Amino acid sequence: MKNIIRIILGGMIVVTISVLIFTACNSVKPEANDAIYQTPDGIAYIANVSGAVPKHLGPPIQSVDVILVKGANTADISYRNYIETTSGQNRNDIFNIGFSNEPQNNSIPNLSNGSIVLKVIGLPDGITANVGSGAPNELFSWQQLIQFMITTNVKLNMYDFKIDVQINGTDFGTLPCTIKVI
């Protein structure tokens, strides 16, 4: 308790809370290149943070950029559409969601918890998904994490599924995703 009080008095309560939440919620092994790293701008894959990556973690995580349009609103989404893993692992997929329209022309209001709903559709037996609540990281921008849990009994194969994107109750469509168990 004295350490926590010292940290709070030292002005680092936000960092302390982030670390505690991160430790409790992230069950991806710290050696994994897709482990979540808290930055001042939001969350990132540890392999993509300059200076934070031990050399043995391998290459950075690649994301794809997709544009979904619904009416006058355009959602720009960056996410991992392909995940390669062995069975018995947990894998992270960070969704960065922004809006192209000028704020004065955009009918999407400031976002809060529950404004963006990501729904995983068509996962096979043995793979489950935990969709986080998400958080804003700048004006008209949102980050949300999906963690996939791959059990040890999942067979080696490619598994295709979709992620439905809903913003303020409006369905913007689905995004394709693949998990390859090797």
Query: What pLDDT was estimated at residue 20?
Result: 28
pLDDT classification of 110: cutoffs 50, 70, 90 = low
> pLDDT above 90 covers what percent of the chain?
43
Amino acid 73 reads N
Task: Indicate whether 39 and 74 sit together in one domain.
Answer: no
Task: Indicate whether 150 and 177 sit together in one domain.
Answer: yes
pLDDT classification of 121: cutoffs 50, 70, 90 = very high
Domain CATH for 74: 2.60.40.10
pLDDT classification of 28: cutoffs 50, 70, 90 = very low
Going from the C-alpha of 96 to that of each of 90, 92, 152, the distances in angstroms are 20, 13, 29
Task: Indicate whether 18 and 108 sit together in one domain.
Answer: no
List, in sequence order, every beta strand (DSSP E) within the chain: 36-39, 42-45, 64-70, 73-79, 82-85, 90-99, 116-121, 127-131, 135-138, 141-150, 157-167, 170-181
> pLDDT above 70 covers what percent of the chain?
69
Task: Indicate whether 86 and 167 sit together in one domain.
Answer: yes
Task: Indicate whether 164 and 75 sit together in one domain.
Answer: yes
Tell me how far apart the alpha carbons of residues 53 and 31 are, in angstroms, rounded to a whole number: 9
Task: Indicate whether 81 and 18 sit together in one domain.
Answer: no
Amino acid 157 reads N
By DSSP bridging, strand 42-45 and strand 73-79 are unpaired
Query: What pLDDT was estimated at residue 104?
Result: 47
Task: Indicate whether 111 and 167 sit together in one domain.
Answer: yes
Amino acid 176 reads P
Residue-wise pLDDT tens digits, 126-172: 999 999 978 877 645 789 999 999 999 999 999 999 999 998 888 99
Task: Indicate whether 66 and 50 sit together in one domain.
Answer: no
* Number of domains making up the chain: 2
Residue-wise pLDDT tens digits, 34-64: 888 888 878 888 888 776 556 666 788 999 9
Q: Which domain range does residue 130 map to?
A: 62-181
Whose structure tokens read 């997709």?
66
Task: Indicate whether 72 and 47 sit together in one domain.
Answer: no
**Residue where a domain terminates, one of 54, 74, 90:** 54
Report the mean per-residue pLDDT for the chain. 77
